[in-house]
Amino acid sequence: MTELTPDQQIAFEAAAFRRLVAHLRERSDVQNIDLMNLAGFCRNCLSNWYRDAANEAGVPLDKEQSREIVYGMHYEEWRTLNQREASSEQKAAFEISRPKE
């Protein structure tokens, strides 16, 4: 395996993150509940992780700001444009797979 410098690793991780965010923005047809049911995370989780990283680094970032970074627009605007009502099947699957606290 090729040894990466810490700077290279950070740059490659950042590039992968940007590509994931771009992909999720392009695939607005994929609902967050589908992501949760299949992968155990969604756009909101990603924005929470981003906010947590910023706050841990001493950079104040609130929930709405981090969501706008991930969604590419205000969260409520994205919901209005893209979110559909979850089916009873999606809701049942979520109850089975939902994160346990």
pLDDT (tens, 9 = 90+) of the chain, 101 residues, equals: 899 999 999 999 999 999 999 999 999 999 999 999 999 999 999 999 999 999 999 999 999 999 999 999 999 999 999 999 999 999 999 998 887 76
Burial of residue 66, with CB atoms counted within 10 A of its CB: 0-12 exposed, 13-18 middle, 19 or more buried: buried
Cβ(36)–Cβ(46) under 8 Å? no
Q: What is the reported pLDDT for 99? A: 75
What pLDDT does 98 receive?
81
Of 39, 55, 58, which is closest to residue 47 (Cα–Cα)?
55
pTM of the model: 0.89
pLDDT at residue 101 in the model: 63
Q: For the stretch 68-83, what's the b/e string if a residue is b when 16 or more beta carbons lie within 10 angstroms of its beta carbon?
A: bebbeeebeebeeeee
16: enclosing H helix or E strand: helix 6-26
